Structure 1
């Protein structure tokens, strides 16, 4: 029995990103960085430039810890004062830093990032697309009325309008405003009533992933708006073209065909431009919705739940992206139908032109036949004339030799058989030529 070479890697993939056990009080910070493209990618030899040194490897080396191996998609290291986890995804890298302790009176005053060496965070490659600070507190340490203390929540979230809900079937409460604060991070406050450390880790991961994948999905939104503007123009041009097809004369068909080709190229370019991003957005949106269902939220009156907030604000943006994608597909189908209609018109016009050519060719063939018949008649007459002349000379010679013959009478009598013989000879030659041509 032979093992598949990828069996071990495929089997271990579901265990590649384990959730970390987290107990309150705790601080968690997460950053998602869009991975930079290699310099000179798609430009020949410049793509071979060496990669810069990995800041995480340097950090591990400075603390005497094993460094991540090249190509490792999940790495976790405990630095004592903090833990750092890196996850490499298809488009981005996620860095999660968590540290023990969290001040109930000011849960976001000190974050897990404060435990990192100065300047290390700035050395990370890539563009920040999502960033979250999550403060985890036991519900009992938050004060007896902490969840209902609107003034304290307002201070924690700079007075912004909040979303809140119970999660994990009521075992915890979460609050967030889904806004970037001065440091560029979204804040989430998680109050743990009765969850164990492993379950808390799972809920923290879900909350973080909702924000990260929401932002990754939103990358499609500005592209969808730009594409919609260009698509509007293409749809208007297509409508005008279809209207012209109804009554345009045949002389305009080359121009119409050129316009159809231009529109087809435009829509195909739009489809190629948005195809990957819209497909990725659908996948990210599905993850956000799945993570929202996994939270098993309950309402905290009068607050709107985070999931309801996303359904009202985030889902319409994704629906707009989907509608643009469907419009592109619809425009491509309409262009294909218009192209087929135009090809049908061109084919009909070409067939009509061919019929005219065939009719003209038939007429020319008939004229050529009549001309040939006329030429044959003239040829028979000319050959007969010269043949009778030869007979006349022969008769004159015979009479001079003593043969009694009336030259004029004999010459006249010879005209008929000579003409018949010439006509039969010309006919035989023509039939012979026709037989050879038919072969």
Structure 2
């Protein structure tokens, strides 16, 4: 028997509590969709480096652009926006450290015998300048999507033959070509030939090609940083070699402490550079991986006599990426060596300090032993002096009794010398016993 919703208790009730990040995570999969592109089309794509403050300025600029034309602005929190302007389209995207603007213009069929990319990209700079520039320009691409009518001699007229990279893509449904060099207006020209791609496939291919060029340049930002750090790393390596060589011959706590201070200063300098370049090198690796994935997605096939984009970038871009990786690895290796050298030198300093402490304790023990002997000597002298003082008092007392005739009244004669002689050992014993008792009391207190 079939059960209905009412039979199992399903109905109106309390809404399920959603994770606060659920909406943004779901939206991320659809943040940058592909848009159909009908051949022929022309795309002007620019990317500006932005920090978090400039990223907000980029959004404000797009909002002002839309408001001035009565168009819908980006929704709050959106990272991309697309507006229609007659036959043209503007697409804005905000990324972690850059913002992109892609103008999509309709284009007439290229007549036989004429070259694409006419008029030049410089004639469109007025449209590009309508939105305030949010940062420094890094990427500028002029992409022309044309039907497959251009001949190879036209490609040689458009591009530098020595740097021309061509490939059939999407299982032969299209072809891409570029020399990765800027034209007089500063735009890198990319030609995409449509051999039956269809609007959806053409739009996806155009976006992936634009992303390859964008992320290629972003990945290469790590190279200037690596070139800047290389001389500093070489200098630190040389100083480390000098210090480790001097460690074998150094003697004395002062010399070791001085070398330890130099090692710590070198380590701090290296760590400061490594921390400053950490994001740049990590971003370069991530961007390079995106380029690799995009190239794999378009499924390149070689055109005889020309390198594919993958082959061209492997030959020209891969050495730069290896330089970044090498510099990063050198930083890590030198940091570990500096730490080991500092540990060795710190161990030597600790041993020397312990030896000094041992010598100091031995000297203190010797001084204590001498002080104890002196104290005992003083105690002996003190016993003698106090006993002499007590005996003198007894002697004076006996003489006074005798001279005063007190002993005559008592019926005996008091000899002061004899009394003093008897008092001496008693006084000595009593004083010695008192001094010993006082010393023991002090020892028990300590």
Asked if these proteins are the same fold (TM beyond 0.5), I'd say yes
Partner of 1:45: none
2:433 aligned residue (415, 424, 429): 424
1:198 aligned residue (191, 197, 200): 200
Change (3 A) 1:389 1:132: same
Quote the offset at 1:303 in angstroms.
0.6
Partner of 2:179: 177
Task: Give deviations 1:70-123, integer Å, cap 9, x for gaps.
Answer: 543111111122111011111111111112234433211136885675573584
**Secondary structure of 2:143's partner?**
strand
Partner of 2:390: 387
Change (3 A) 1:102 1:305: farther
Change (3 A) 1:385 1:138: same
Quote the offset at 1:226 in angstroms.
0.7
Partner of 2:98: 92
Q: In the aligned structure 2, how far is the partner of 1:236 from the partner of 1:181?
A: 44
Q: Which moved more, 1:177-186 or 1:52-61?
A: 52-61
2:295 aligned residue (289, 292, 295): 292
Q: Which moved more, 1:305-314 or 1:21-30?
A: 21-30
Q: In the aligned structure 1, how far is the partner of 2:64 from the partner of 2:120?
A: 22
**Secondary structure of 2:119's partner?**
coil
Q: In the aligned structure 1, how far is the partner of 2:76 from the partner of 2:125?
A: 23
Matches within 5 A, 1:51-200: 54-69=60-75, 71-104=77-110, 105-110=114-119, 120=129, 123-139=132-148, 141-142=149-150, 146=151, 149=152, 151-157=153-159, 159=161, 161-200=163-202
Structure 2, unpaired ranges of 5+: 1-15
CA contact (8 A) 1:387 1:418 kept: yes
CA contact (8 A) 1:170 1:298 kept: yes
**Secondary structure of 1:15's partner?**
coil
Q: Does 2:310 align with 1:307?
A: yes
Change (3 A) 1:102 1:321: farther
Quote the offset at 1:189 in angstroms.
1.3
Task: Give deviations 1:403-425, integer Å, cap 9, x for gaps.
Answer: 23443334324322322222112
TM, length-normalised to structure 1: 0.89
Quote the offset at 1:177 in angstroms.
0.7
1:17 aligned residue (32, 37, 46): 32
Quote the offset at 1:307 in angstroms.
0.6
CA contact (8 A) 1:271 1:328 kept: yes
Change (3 A) 1:397 1:123: closer
Q: In the aligned structure 2, how far is the partner of 1:116 from the partner of 1:223?
A: 31
**Secondary structure of 2:317's partner?**
helix
Task: Give deviations 1:219-268, integer Å, cap 9, x for gaps.
Answer: 11111101111111111111111111122122312321221222122112
Which of structure 1's runs of 4+ aligned residues deviate more than 4 A?
Answer: 36-39, 50-55, 111-119
Partner of 2:356: 353
User: Aligned-pair RMSD on alpha carbons?
Assistant: 2.4
Q: Does 2:241 align with 1:232?
A: no
Structure 1, unpaired ranges of 5+: 40-49
Quote the offset at 1:133 in angstroms.
1.3
Matches within 5 A, 1:404-423: 404-423=413-432
Quote the offset at 1:366 in angstroms.
0.6
**Secondary structure of 2:74's partner?**
coil
Provide the aligned length of Structure 1 versus Structure 2.
421
**Secondary structure of 1:195's partner?**
coil
Q: In the aligned structure 2, how far is the partner of 1:194 from the partner of 1:6?
A: 41
Q: In the aligned structure 2, how far is the partner of 1:59 from the partner of 1:116?
A: 16
Q: In the aligned structure 2, how far is the partner of 1:57 from the partner of 1:419?
A: 109
CA contact (8 A) 2:65 2:131 kept: no
